[in-house]
Chain A
């Protein structure tokens, strides 16, 4: 009979430890300097259409120290794959050896999908994201809005919580967002290490956000 309270206590304790670790992981992000070890492993999450275009503009600005570059695309997204290959092959002319891979995960949220079914498909995508992030061990996850970001960032956080690897979450809100954050942005705002917005209105609303003018 005394078994149940013990189980409940252990569960509550584990939740507490989990949340405490989450807090520590988020709070210590700004002290983490992966650049000091030479190269920064990037996991870039591409979405559809405009998101991918913006993401590649950001990737193009990064120095050769950011390698290898792993791109994640939704498994239904052919156009992004082409764009990434075109972009990377133009970059290869400048660098010596190819330094990128493309990985596929199930799409977590289609535009206009209902909230409840989004949750289920995001959990489904999480099953794929955790082993992927564990395998690639990125120093940072760069994302800018597509729903696929959320499970990958969650997987990155999990690695930090378990003490295996600190994964920085760098979020850049789309230039389309002038005075309201996207759903993904709202979810990732509290857990991201560097959260960029591109309009002053958003900076005023979200004090943690970094505003450097338009960056795409």
Chain B
């Protein structure tokens, strides 16, 4: 079952949750073949119930110790611009759409989201363009995000410190 996982991390992002559960966004998802929507809503005040969206299988929760399973089970991850959430989605090898909260401008967390988009690792939109982006997005343009290489760090340090 094609699944979309929406995550807002430890913050709240009610506008995103409201947008993604609006009837036109749901129709768009449905038209693109997504049948299940999982929402992690964090501290937000909006916690949709499963029966609030008749056309799609909907699950919502606030927090879990680990969202690794939700990431793994997703065919598309829609995330806030938080670095942790973005890296987790890309690390799991999932297509990522970052929705920027334009009410939180100049947050340093956005540096990474912007760069990931510039390097074609993720798509990028705001709440007001979310439905349009879902309608027109082309996930095949996304480039894989290769994991970092801590070994390079270790080798450098070995050499610098004279470790045999």
Could you tell me which A residues sit within 8 Å of B by CB distance?
30, 32-36, 40, 49-50, 53, 57-58, 60-63, 65-66, 139-140, 168, 170, 172, 174-180, 182, 194, 196, 198-199, 210, 212-216
Which residues from B are CB-within-8-Å of A177? 108, 111-112
Asked whether, in the complex, the Cβ of A213 is within 8 Å of the Cβ of B148, the reply is yes
Asked whether, in the complex, the Cβ of A65 is within 8 Å of the Cβ of B114, the reply is no
| Secondary structure dominating the interface of A | loop
Instruction: Count CB-based A-B contacts (< 8 Å).
Output: 89
Which residues from B are CB-within-8-Å of A32? 161
Q: Is B136 an interface residue (CB 8 A)?
A: no
Q: Is B163 an interface residue (CB 8 A)?
A: yes
Among the listed B108, B114, B115, B152, which residue makes an inter-chain contact with A215, where contact means beta carbons less than 8 Å apart? Answer: B152
Asked whether, in the complex, the Cβ of A175 is within 8 Å of the Cβ of B87, the reply is yes
Chain B residues within 8 Å of chain A by Cβ, number: 25
Which residues from A are CB-within-8-Å of B163? 35, 40, 63, 65-66
Which residues from A are CB-within-8-Å of B111? 176-180
Assuming A50-B83, A175-B112, is B161 touching A58 (CB within 8 A)? no
Which residues from B are CB-within-8-Å of A214? 147-149
Asked whether, in the complex, the Cβ of A58 is within 8 Å of the Cβ of B112, the reply is no
Asked whether, in the complex, the Cβ of B84 is within 8 Å of the Cβ of A212, the reply is no
Asked whether, in the complex, the Cβ of B149 is within 8 Å of the Cβ of A215, the reply is yes
Which residues from B are CB-within-8-Å of A179? 111, 115
Asked whether, in the complex, the Cβ of B148 is within 8 Å of the Cβ of A62, the reply is no
Residue among B156, B162, B163, B164 facing the most chain A CB atoms (10 A cut-off): B163
Given contacts A61-B150, A176-B112, A216-B150, list 4 more A-B pairs with CB under 8 A.
Answer: A35-B162, A139-B161, A176-B111, A213-B149
Which residues from A are CB-within-8-Å of B109? 176
Asked whether, in the complex, the Cβ of A210 is within 8 Å of the Cβ of B150, the reply is no
Which residues from A are CB-within-8-Å of B164? 35-36, 65
The 12 listed contacts between A and B (C-beta, < 8 Å) are: A36-B162, A58-B150, A63-B154, A139-B161, A140-B161, A168-B161, A176-B83, A179-B115, A194-B160, A198-B148, A212-B149, A215-B150
